[in-house]
Amino acid sequence: MPEKEIKSMFENVAKLYDFFNDLFSFMLVRLWRRSVTKHLLKQSRYILDLGIGTGYLSNNISQDVGVFPVGLDLTKSMVLKNIKKLQRFSDPVIGTATNMPFRDCAFDTIVSSFTLRSFKKVGIDKVFDECARVLNEKGNLVMLDTAKPTNRLALAFFYVYFKIINFIGGLYNNQAYHWLTNSIMDLDPEFVKKKMSEKFNNVHVYKLTGEIAYIWHSRTRKL
């Protein structure tokens, strides 16, 4: 799926994006984002929130770590929806993860939540290339997303639960929420680890809430 289509889809769901995230995750999405901050280095001072969206993760980081991240997002309406939440940060940059408008080694940490499924569609190799470029030598990369579980019980739950998501979400935006469920089942946690390991060292995968969500984390990029 081209970046233009991804952008258009998120523009269309921006208004109720946070509401449906909370609804469909039973509010667990808030705990998952908090888990990201536990993987940040104490010395992290220059943080990029890649795909900042409505700003929830950046808000958590500012509260837990005391650092206001720089935000980058493809979709302007996602950023503008919760501008009050983002008012303490510098204005988010509108741009693409495959061609970031930042100098080399500009950040010591990149965080990203619920973006990997989109990155896979537009070119995950290029995204990790860009992450490695804008991170410094000891750059810390932490990524959160939902993905296809390896546990059979969790997988069976997903198949049933996705029918509910497709029905409810479909009443609001059928294309977007069918894409959501399909993209989750299309994202293999080991695939992400493999791709990330091509540019980063010692990639660790952490399972959250019985494999409903995952965190991929590396503390250093390859030279």
Interval 2-22: pLDDT, tens = 788 888 888 888 788 888 888
Residue 35: count other Cβ atoms within 10 Å of its Cβ. 16
Q: Which pLDDT band holds residue 132 (cuts at 50, 70, 90)?
A: very high
pLDDT at position 130 over 90: yes
pLDDT at position 83 over 80: no
Mean pLDDT, the chain, whole residue set = 90
Rounded to 10°, the helix 124-134/189-197 angle is 50
Alpha helices per DSSP H over the chain: 3-13, 17-25, 28-37, 56-64, 76-81, 116-122, 124-134, 152-185, 189-197
The enclosing domain of 113 has a CATH number of 3.40.50.150
Once rounded to an integer, what is the mean pLDDT over residues 109-133? Answer: 97
Once rounded to an integer, what is the mean pLDDT over residues 53-66? Answer: 89
Residue 151: count other Cβ atoms within 10 Å of its Cβ. 13
pTM for the full predicted model: 0.92
Q: What pLDDT is recorded for position 21?
A: 86
Residue with tokens 């997002």: 73
CA–CA dist 121, 127 (Å, integer)? 11
Domain around 24: 3-221
The residues with which 214 forms a beta bridge, in sequence order, are: 145, 207
Q: What pLDDT is recorded for position 79?
A: 77
Give me the number of domains the chain comprises: 1
